[in-house]
Amino acid sequence: MLVVPVVVGAVVSGVTWRHGLLLGVWLLAYLAFQACALWLKASRRPRWWPPVRAYGLSALWPGLVLVAQAPALLRWAPVFGGLLAVSLLCAHRRADRSWLNDAVTVGAAMLMTVVAAGLGTHGTPHARGPVLDTWVPPGAGDPAAWAATAALAGYFLGTVPYVKTLLRERGDRRVLAVSIGYHAAVLVAALVVTVAAPQAGTVALAVVAAGLLVRAVVVPRRRPWPSAKAIGLGEVAATVVVTAAVLLAVA
């Protein structure tokens, strides 16, 4: 979930060395965020602070280099700042496993597709422009990047209820209904897109969406329950297939 959006955004807009730097900063920032969330969840106990400081400083220096290369990225700060505030508030209230926090976390990760697109060979001049030259963040004007973001979000948001049906909420009929209903809606959306713009990529997305719906219906009903390892491997495989279909559709 963390790597795929950056990779897709880079491929959509043209890969540059800045994408490697962006990915490194993003991963370090996520580790700092997780450490901060644990610190807040633990009522800010001092022994939880060192990881926050370590990961925060590790992300700071490459982050400054990235901003120096593409200062217009700072236009994304209000968006990600708002998402970060909501997620940290959830952690403070020990609701880090809530539906809201899961959705916010996935949403922030998916936006990295557009951010990465702003650093590509088509977006680099805009990204390197003055911070206050325009209010539009780099990448935000790229329709292909937004299409890829929507497709990836459709999949990764669906993993929230799907995984819950296999782990924390397994056996809960309401969560299962939400998962199936969501995946059915995604399939309908994929079919609409395929009819409106028939091509190999959109057809592939529709086929993948159908497969994900079948998975959402069948796997939670299997007995014995799949192991955590099996669930993880299944998610990796599904992510690879979805990524390939998205790239086929928009790249």
Q: What is the pLDDT along the chain (251 residues), one digit of tens a residue?
A: 999 999 999 999 999 999 999 999 999 999 999 999 999 988 888 888 999 999 999 999 999 999 999 999 999 999 999 999 999 999 989 888 899 999 999 999 999 999 999 999 865 445 555 555 567 899 999 999 999 999 999 999 999 999 999 998 888 999 999 999 999 999 999 999 999 999 999 999 999 999 999 999 999 998 888 888 999 999 999 999 999 999 999 97
Report the SS3 class of residue 172.
coil
Instruction: Name 3's Cβ contacts closer than 8 Å, sequence gap at least 6.
Output: 23, 27
Cβ atoms of 66 and 29 closer than 8 Å: no
User: Both tokens of residue 233?
Assistant: 């491997």
> Rounded to two decimals, what is the model's pTM?
0.92
pLDDT, residue 133, reads 58
Residues 6+ apart with CB under 8 A from 93: none
User: Domain extents for the chain?
Assistant: 1-141, 142-251
Q: CA distances (Å), 117 to each of 39, 54, 168, 202, 242, in order?
A: 33, 29, 35, 20, 19
pLDDT for 123: 56
Is the distance from CB of 18 to CB of 66 less than 8 angstroms? Answer: yes
pLDDT attached to residue 55? 95
Nearest alpha-carbon partner for 162 in 148, 188, 182? 182
pLDDT of residue 226: 86
How far is Cα 54 from Cα 32, in angstroms, rounded to an integer? 8
| Secondary structure, 3-state, 66-87 | HHHHCHHHHHHHHHHHHHHHHH
Distance CA 170, CA 2 (A): 25
Q: How far apart (Å, rounded) are the C-alpha atoms in residues 172 and 165?
A: 7
